Amino acid sequence: MATELIRIPGSDFQTEEMILNLGPQHPSTHGVLRVVLKIDGEVITAAQPDVGYLHRGTEKLAENRTYPQMLVISDRWDYLSAMSNNLIWCLAVEKLLQIEVPLRGDYLRVIMVELNRIASHLVFFGTYGIDIGAYTPFLHAFREREKILDLFEEVSGARMTYNYIRIGGVMADLPEDWIGKCRSFLEWIKPRFVEYDILLTENPIFKDRTQNIGIISKEDAISYAITGPNLRGCGISFDLRKDEPYCHYQDFKFDVPTGKQGDCWDRYWVRIQEMKESVKIVEQALDHLPTGVPNAKVPRIIRPPVGESYAQLEAPRGVLGIYCLSAGEDKPYRVHVRAPSFINLTILQKILVGMKLADVVAILGSIDIVLGEVDR
């Protein structure tokens, strides 16, 4: 009696988990981000974001920069929305100095920050299309963004590193007929949103690639301290412009769009709606722009009293906060930046698990990070 050897088909296949590096030099990581993926076939079993390739140590640099000089550095955090960075630094220092900015200054700040939010979301819209494989939206988005950058260039002299919002107000009042140009831009961009919906939002292929992908649950979003459109995409209506108004945001009427289930498409949709809301805010601000001087009186050498301050605002990517500790010198003793991109990025290791490899880029793009801010 000979024993029969039973062979299970496929049992001699060698299968093992593979480690795949996404980045740091990868066009879809929007900068130098490395994600170490452990994959089992096509399914991701673990993901580890690796940050720090763009680290410039700006928090340390702040310790030997005077307060106005630090503004120049703040432009370089989230370079897609440098106005928000300028504003948050000014808010933190003004809190230390106990300065009240005149109403016109506040309104000018709101106009700039909201225009910058549109520009920043336009970059997201364009590059997210490319991530998914649609090239046309990119060209449309950058055409619109170019117009905003032209407006900024006229008002501040630079296209990305504005250094426009200053401690106590703004750099200078609006140039002549800037308001007219801004209005014609707003009129021009409104019909563009319809085109965006045709091109991307309602496209069935795009929807298939993004709906039910990378779902963030409400609980996860809160426990990972996700903010901004990523949080609102989960259906949580939290927006500092409404919940803790700064710069007279309480004067403006706007809605806070929220998604339903927190998938990639919801996060995308929230950003598109936010652009429309920003248009509304800028229109209201232009309509009710107060007259007067935009700047408060600020001492020539800024030497805040000993103390600490924390200011936060709703940047295009989430809650941007500055903790500033003054020792009574003309330079801060310690500065900490609460960078929304950095904190939003941490959810990646949770939501990537169980997803297919092809969805990684879609999910990463929908988180909308800026590496300059992640690494600072």
Binding piece for another protein, criterion CB under 8 A, among 27-35, 170-178, 256-264, 340-348: 170-178
Based on the shown chain and the rule CB under 8 A, indicate whether residue 328 belongs to the binding site for another protein: no
Query: Of the candidates 54, 172, 225, 286, which one interacts with another protein according to CB under 8 A?
Result: 172
Query: Of the candidates 36, 39, 130, 158, which one interacts with another protein according to CB under 8 A?
Result: 158
| Dmax (CA) of the chain | 106
Cβ atoms within 10 A of the Cβ of 286, count? 17
Cβ atoms within 10 A of the Cβ of 64, count? 10
Q: Can you tell me the distance from the alpha carbon of 365 to that of 353, in angstroms, rounded to the nearest whole number?
A: 16
Nearest distance from residue 360's CB to another protein, in Å?
24
Query: Of the candidates 40, 42, 100, 153, which one interacts with another protein according to CB under 8 A?
Result: 153
Q: For 66, phi and psi rounded to 5 degrees? A: -70, 170
If the CB atoms of residues 75 and 277 are measured against another protein, the closer one turns out to be 75
User: Which helix (H) or strand (E) covers residue 251, if one does?
Assistant: none
C-alpha torsion sign, points 97, 102, 107, 109: negative
Q: Can you tell me the distance from the alpha carbon of 105 to that of 166, in angstroms, rounded to the nearest whole number?
A: 10
Nearest distance from residue 38's CB to another protein, in Å?
34
Query: Of the candidates 3, 13, 198, 354, which one interacts with another protein according to CB under 8 A?
Result: 198
Encoded one letter per residue, x for contact with another protein by CB under 8 A and - for no contact, window 123-142 reads: -------------x------
For residue 315, the cross-strand partners are: 318
Q: If DSSP codes are grouped into helix, strand and coil, which group holds residue 312?
A: strand
Based on the shown chain and the rule CB under 8 A, indicate whether residue 57 belongs to the binding site for another protein: no
Residue pair 321/132 in contact (Cβ under 8 Å)? The answer is no
Based on the shown chain and the rule CB under 8 A, indicate whether residue 204 belongs to the binding site for another protein: yes
State how far the alpha carbon of 28 is from the alpha carbons of 25, 33, 366, in Å.
9, 9, 11
Query: Of the candidates 26, 36, 45, 203, which one interacts with another protein according to CB under 8 A?
Result: 203
Based on the shown chain and the rule CB under 8 A, indicate whether residue 10 belongs to the binding site for another protein: no
Interacting residues with another protein (CB under 8 A): 65, 68-70, 72-73, 136, 143, 146, 150, 153-158, 161, 163, 171-172, 175, 195, 198-199, 202-205
